[in-house]
């Protein structure tokens, strides 16, 4: 991905084009190249944001500069002048910086207060006023700004191939963009294709990420096909590898989709291991049929995508996933909440006490699905993701409100970007368009702009939804997601007053279309400190490929599992002690014998699963490992002679 940067950059447009032009049938530079898609986006926005964005020029410059150093001599060679006057000698060394952030207001999810923060060796060492610090400390000036824990993006797809294509933004580009937006930890989805070993894919992924990522990362595992045999691997992953969340697909029929039975079994295992179940909630069966239908109708453009993934299909799956999770008593995390009704289902279930979490993403908070009908194919295709953005224009506001009131908990980006050329694989068939949108960079600003500056949310809640909640759910709190002594020095100095305009020309990604093109967002990360190092300052990005560390996560996060544990104890159903029924029994034995060969035995719902005379007392039902009721002696064989409340034997009922 980065080799394209090598091209001599006379101007940034052509540098971006250089790679594309090679497989393009026609050179398109004369028209402004791939930004024609951007032009298309202006159809309904009519503003040329470039002209009035004060930052644009500067950003562009940054981009070029950083670009050249990527391809050339690497991060160390770059000269960046910091306001504090410090030179750059510390940059190559991880955890080398000693920093003091002065004058800012520290905002955690529970309170805000004015204090200075002293950072050393990648951790926060002291917080307070008038700190006593060593002499050679760099000062970051945060007067008038907020000092918040670095954002945690709980859902990215920076390395998952689709149809054999790797995302345009890999773990390096993606994390770089994340840092520039104020996100200092990402959780990437490891897609495990059916038939491959979870462990080997995980190891490979982790290795890749360690080489490339510029910020700390953690990994979710996407299990495409569940079967009992995966238990061992899951156990290893949870206990030894630091993974505590697994995603299952309810969509993508015949490829990744799990049936309800599979989900139930898997959820049971996850609860046992103390992990969190995530679902991609869409009804794959219906989608599949709808796609066939639409293609028959002759609808092949990107609008077919949203037509074949209607809102209620998402809602239905969310509802079902919640039902299953409730039955299995497993915590559930619904990724990518894209519609009002899906969010409502989550909110209602939470009101009923179900342990479920909802994650809206940058795109669903910032824009809507009207663009699928854009006349410009590239624009329309850029929005293709699943579940799709909702055509209802009031969706973003609604989701923001739910986020503000706590019905939805975590914001992420679901970043998975594909270039227009990659998307164009599906130019004649919308079902082939690789799915994914950008958003990793804009996430924090979008939440600030949509929720905080509109007055829906306060700054503490902002920290909660962008960082702390995710840290708690996924059990990396308080190492991440809080500014306190001993926490990781992932700190962002947030400037609520500054604005920036999103544009594909100035963003830090390789994709040539930004779905938020032209949006003006209030709230910008002015300084970003990742692992104790200043990586963003004054709009300049200074990252080191491979500096990100893997963040292992332990099982049984308290925030999630306390309730689950208590419920497992409560949920034990008890039978009614009765005497044995010894009245007449209709003779069915001969029938049952004759029935099984013909599939006519009418439905006691599992006649085929249990064959012959089940010995109830021997089915110990071990999922494996200890059961919650192990301490209760099984009352299997004893006959109740005189139960409390009198004999219940039917023959002697009086």
Q: Within positions 30 to 59, which residues make up the interface with another protein, using CB under 8 A?
A: 31-32, 34-37, 39-40, 43
Query: What does the alpha-carbon distance between residue 311 and residue 305 come to, in Å, rounded to a whole number?
Result: 12
327-346: contacts with another protein (CB under 8 A): 327
> Binding residue for another protein (CB under 8 A) from 109, 170, 216, 316?
316
> Which span sits near another protein by CB under 8 A: 7-15, 132-140, 250-258, 561-569?
250-258
Q: Does residue 285 belong to the site contacting another protein (CB under 8 A)? A: yes
Residue (135 or 598) nearer to another protein, CB: 598
> Which span sits near another protein by CB under 8 A: 98-106, 114-122, 170-178, 372-380?
372-380
389-408: contacts with another protein (CB under 8 A): none
Tokens 């706590």, residue located: 406
Q: Does residue 581 belong to the site contacting another protein (CB under 8 A)? A: yes
CB 1 within 8 A of CB 170: yes
Report the nearest approach of another protein to the CB of residue 628 (Å).
11
Total residues binding another protein (CB under 8 A): 144
Query: What does the alpha-carbon distance between residue 161 and residue 414 come to, in Å, rounded to a whole number?
Result: 14
Peptide bond into 478 cis (omega under 30): yes
Tokens of 289: 């049929």
146 phi, psi to nearest 5 deg: -100, 145
> Binding residue for another protein (CB under 8 A) from 183, 362, 422, 438?
422
Cα torsion for 119, 123, 124, 126, to the nearest 10°? -80
194-233: contacts with another protein (CB under 8 A): 194-196, 224
Q: Which residues contact 490 (CB under 8 A, 6 or more apart)?
A: 149, 150, 184, 185, 215, 216, 480, 529, 530, 531
140 phi, psi to nearest 5 deg: -105, 125
Letters for 520-559 (x = contact with another protein by CB under 8 A, - = none) are ----------------------------------------
Q: Does residue 420 belong to the site contacting another protein (CB under 8 A)? A: yes
> Which span sits near another protein by CB under 8 A: 395-403, 415-423, 549-557, 559-567?
415-423
> Binding residue for another protein (CB under 8 A) from 73, 110, 289, 630?
289
Residue (83 or 594) nearer to another protein, CB: 594
Q: Does residue 315 belong to the site contacting another protein (CB under 8 A)? A: yes
Q: Does residue 609 belong to the site contacting another protein (CB under 8 A)? A: yes
Q: Which residues contact 384 (CB under 8 A, 6 or more apart)?
A: 302, 305, 372, 423, 426, 430, 433, 434, 435, 436, 437
> Which span sits near another protein by CB under 8 A: 48-56, 316-324, 330-338, 437-445?
316-324
Q: Does residue 653 belong to the site contacting another protein (CB under 8 A)? A: yes
Q: Does residue 251 belong to the site contacting another protein (CB under 8 A)? A: yes
CA pseudo-torsion sign 248, 291, 362, 39: positive
Letters for 442-471 (x = contact with another protein by CB under 8 A, - = none) are ------------------------------
CB 58 within 8 A of CB 74: no
Q: Does residue 595 belong to the site contacting another protein (CB under 8 A)? A: yes
Q: Does residue 620 belong to the site contacting another protein (CB under 8 A)? A: yes
Query: What does the alpha-carbon distance between residue 459 and residue 302 come to, in Å, rounded to a whole number?
Result: 37
125-164: contacts with another protein (CB under 8 A): 160-164
Cα angle 276-277-282, degrees, rounded to a multiple of 5:
150
CB 434 within 8 A of CB 423: yes
Query: What does the alpha-carbon distance between residue 490 and residue 483 come to, in Å, rounded to a whole number?
Result: 8
Alpha-carbon 145 to chain mean position: 28
Strand-pair category, 112-114 with 151-156: unpaired
Report the nearest approach of another protein to the CB of residue 442 (Å).
24
Alpha-carbon 8 to chain mean position: 36
Tokens of 297: 């109708």
Q: Does residue 83 belong to the site contacting another protein (CB under 8 A)? A: no
Q: Does residue 610 belong to the site contacting another protein (CB under 8 A)? A: yes
Alpha-carbon 92 to chain mean position: 30
Q: Does residue 353 belong to the site contacting another protein (CB under 8 A)? A: no
Q: Does residue 628 belong to the site contacting another protein (CB under 8 A)? A: no
Letters for 473-502 (x = contact with another protein by CB under 8 A, - = none) are ------------------------------
CB 382 within 8 A of CB 433: no
């Amino acid at each position: 991905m980065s080799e394209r940067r090598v091209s001599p950059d006379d101007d940034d447009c052509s540098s971006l084009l250089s790679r594309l032009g090679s497989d393009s049938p026609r050179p398109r530079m004369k028209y402004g190249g791939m930004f024609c898609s951007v032009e298309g986006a202006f159809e309904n926005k009519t503003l040329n944001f470039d002209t009035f964005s004060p930052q644009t020029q500067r950003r562009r410059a940054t981009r070029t500069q950083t670009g050249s150093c990527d391809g050339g001599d690497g991060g160390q060679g770059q000269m960046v002048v910091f306001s504090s006057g410090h030179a750059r000698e510390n940059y190559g060394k991880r955890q080398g910086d000693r920093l003091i952030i002065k004058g800012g207001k520290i905002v955690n999810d529970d309170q805000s207060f004015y204090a200075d923060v002293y950072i050393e060796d990648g951790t926060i060492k002291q917080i307070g006023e008038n700190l006593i610090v060593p002499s050679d400390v760099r000062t970051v000036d945060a007067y008038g700004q907020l000092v918040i824990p670095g954002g945690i993006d709980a859902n990215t797809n920076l390395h998952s191939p689709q149809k054999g294509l790797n995302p345009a933004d890999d773990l390096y580009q993606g994390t770089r963009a994340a840092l520039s937006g104020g996100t200092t930890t990402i959780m990437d989805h490891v897609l495990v294709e059916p038939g491959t070993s979870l462990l080997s894919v995980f190891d490979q992924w982790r290795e890749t990420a360690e080489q490339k990522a510029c910020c700390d990362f953690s990994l979710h595992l996407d299990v495409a096909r569940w079967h009992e045999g995966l238990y061992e691997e899951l156990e290893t992953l949870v206990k030894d590898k630091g993974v505590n969340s697994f995603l299952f697909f309810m969509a993508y029929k015949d490829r990744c989709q799990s049936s309800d039975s599979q989900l139930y079994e898997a959820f049971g295992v996850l609860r046992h291991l103390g992990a969190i179940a995530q679902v991609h909630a869409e009804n794959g069966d219906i989608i599949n049929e709808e796609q066939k239908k639409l293609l028959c109708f002759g609808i092949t453009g990107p609008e077919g995508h949203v037509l074949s993934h209607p809102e209620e299909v998402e809602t239905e799956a969310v509802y079902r996933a919640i039902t299953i999770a409730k039955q299995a008593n497993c915590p559930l995390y619904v990724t990518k909440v894209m519609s009002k009704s899906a969010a409502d289902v989550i909110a209602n279930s939470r009101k009923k006490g179900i342990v479920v979490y909802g994650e809206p993403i940058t795109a669903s908070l910032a824009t809507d699905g009207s663009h699928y009908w854009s006349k410009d194919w590239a624009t329309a295709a850029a929005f293709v993701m699943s579940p799709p953005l909702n055509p209802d224009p009031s969706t973003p506001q609604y989701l923001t409100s739910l986020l503000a009131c706590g019905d939805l908990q975590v914001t992420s980006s679901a970043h998975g970007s594909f270039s227009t050329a990659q998307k164009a694989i599906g130019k004649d068939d919308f079902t082939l368009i690789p799915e994914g949108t950008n958003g990793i960079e804009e996430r924090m600003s979008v939440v600030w702009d949509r929720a905080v500056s509109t007055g829906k949310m306060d700054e503490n809640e902002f920290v909660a939804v962008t960082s702390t909640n995710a840290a708690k759910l996924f059990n990396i709190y308080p190492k991440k997601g809080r500014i306190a002594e001993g926490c990781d020095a992932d700190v962002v100095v947030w400037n609520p007053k500054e604005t920036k305009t999103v544009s594909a020309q100035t963003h830090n990604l390789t994709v040539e279309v930004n779905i938020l093109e032209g949006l003006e967002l209030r709230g910008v990360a002015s300084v970003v400190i990742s692992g104790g190092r200043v990586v963003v300052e004054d709009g300049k990005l200074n990252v080191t490929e491979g500096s990100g560390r893997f963040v292992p996560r332990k099982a049984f996060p308290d925030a999630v599992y306390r309730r689950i544990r208590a419920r497992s104890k409560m949920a034990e159903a008890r039978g009614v002690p009765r005497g044995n029924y010894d009245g007449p029994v209709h003779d069915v034995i001969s029938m049952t014998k004759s029935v099984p060969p013909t599939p006519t035995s009418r439905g006691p719902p599992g006649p085929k699963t249990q064959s012959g005379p089940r010995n109830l007392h021997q089915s110990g039902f071990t999922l494996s490992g200890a059961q919650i009721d192990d301490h209760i002696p099984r009352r299997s064989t004893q006959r109740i002679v005189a139960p409390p409340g009198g004999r219940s034997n039917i023959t002697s009922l009086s």
